[in-house]
Structure 1
Amino acid sequence: MALFVIIFAILISLINGGRIKNLFKMNLRYTWFLVITALLNIAVLVYITRFNLAHRRELMMVYPYLNLFTFFVMIFFSIANNKYFAFNIIALGLALNLMAMINYAGFMPVLKEALVYNGSVHELAALENSLSMTHTLLVSGKTFNALADTIPIGKFTSFKTVISIGDVFLSLGLFMLIEDVMKRRS
């Protein structure tokens, strides 16, 4: 979803006279830390899903905690770069998602009824069989369930996905950041 928001924001900004080159002029702090963490996360995920090698099971058990660590790093990065106001909104969205995930040991909880409403049969089957590396079904009665993926948007878009309130803030922040940066005059 974030990729869609980024592309959409770039297109809207270009229509409104923004400049793509401004995105490459951003002076961000701790980018290296964010990149290293993202590469580590991606490498472990690819290793787990693409290769049948030793230590796969152990990495699958550790991955949700790596995912939590990645969220902490992204929040730190957002706060460190809050000279752009949009990073405050991004940090809020990430923090809301992190709060939901902490109660589920690093997995993002998803409301079953939202998947049914969307007609996301394959995703529901995967979650019911615990086949997802990043998501799990929501269990009633847990703290912060309101922050889980509970908003189905598949009926309104071509994306058959369920988002959280944190995803809404994250998307809004990304859009605002790209709009702000691309419209700046240098």
Structure 2
Amino acid sequence: MLIESMIIAIFFGKIRGGKFSRLSKLEFKNTWVFILAVIIQATIILFGVNGNEFVLKYIRELNILSYILLFIGIVINIRHRTLLIILLGMILNIFVMFANGWRTPVSIDGLILAGYSELAELTLSGKLAFYIPLDVSSKYGLLGKIVTIPPPYFSPQILSIGDIFIFLGLFLFVQGVMTNESYDRTNMVKFRYKSRI
């Protein structure tokens, strides 16, 4: 859904008269913080599914570290106000994970509807380190992954409310940059001249 949010944001940005080139003039502080956080999350998903012992042993610590890095990155760049929406989405996701032993409750029916039957079986068996089945014992289950985007959508997914806030924040962020004319002036060279005549 991340890529789709970017594409849709760029499309609407162009409709609103925005410029794609303005995105290249965007200045982020400490970009490496975001990159490292994404790498850690990708590691958790890729190696956690395959049962990597190190990832399974330290999955809580890795999750905490990745979210701390994202939080720091957003705070450092908080002058971009739409990042606050992304931050809200992150907080909701962290909260529900924390309440459920650092695992996100996920709808089994939603997984099956989205076409992820194998993932549903792994979740039910307890073999996944980052998902637990959503049931009556789940805490704050409404914040779990309950929103299903099924086929025929080309990339079926199951999202949480926090995920939706994150994608909305990203959409608005890209829109804001593309339609902000001030980015056209960032590379302009200004000369000051005082006449003595």
| TM-score (norm. length: structure 1) | 0.81
The match for 1:165 is: 161
Number of residue pairs matched by the alignment = 182
Q: State the one-letter code of the partner of 1:25.
A: K
Matched, 1:176 2:172: yes
Cα offset, 1:170, TM superposition:
0.8
Matched, 1:89 2:85: yes
Q: State the one-letter code of the partner of 1:145.
A: G
Matched, 1:67 2:63: yes
Cα offset, 1:100, TM superposition:
1.1
* Residue 145 of structure 2, aligned match among 149, 155, 159: 149
The match for 1:130 is: 126
Matched, 1:121 2:102: no
Cα offset, 1:29, TM superposition:
2.6
| TM-score (norm. length: structure 2) | 0.77
Q: Deviations over 1:87-144 (max 9, x none)?
A: 0101001110111111233322202233344454232122123344533322423432
Secondary structure at the residue paired with 2:150?
A: coil
Q: State the one-letter code of the partner of 1:60.
A: L
The match for 1:9 is: 9
* C-alpha distance in 1 between matches for 2:67 and 2:152: 28
Higher mean C-alpha deviation, range 18-27 or range 172-181: 18-27
* C-alpha distance in 1 between matches for 2:112 and 2:43: 32
* C-alpha distance in 1 between matches for 2:46 and 2:160: 25
Higher mean C-alpha deviation, range 81-90 or range 100-109: 100-109
Cα offset, 1:46, TM superposition:
5.4
* C-alpha distance in 1 between matches for 2:90 and 2:11: 24
Gaps of 5+ in 1: none
Percent identity between the two aligned chains:
21
* C-alpha distance in 1 between matches for 2:153 and 2:32: 35
Contact 1:68 1:101 survives alignment (8 Å):
no
* C-alpha distance in 2 between matches for 1:26 and 1:69: 26
Contact 2:96 2:144 survives alignment (8 Å):
yes
Contact 1:93 1:170 survives alignment (8 Å):
yes
The match for 1:110 is: 106
Cα offset, 1:155, TM superposition:
5.7
Contact 1:110 1:149 survives alignment (8 Å):
yes
Matched, 1:58 2:86: no
Matched, 1:19 2:15: no
Cα offset, 1:151, TM superposition:
1.4
Gaps of 5+ in 2: 185-197
* C-alpha distance in 2 between matches for 1:33 and 1:88: 17
Q: State the one-letter code of the partner of 1:176.
A: L
* C-alpha distance in 2 between matches for 1:47 and 1:156: 29
* C-alpha distance in 1 between matches for 2:2 and 2:125: 26
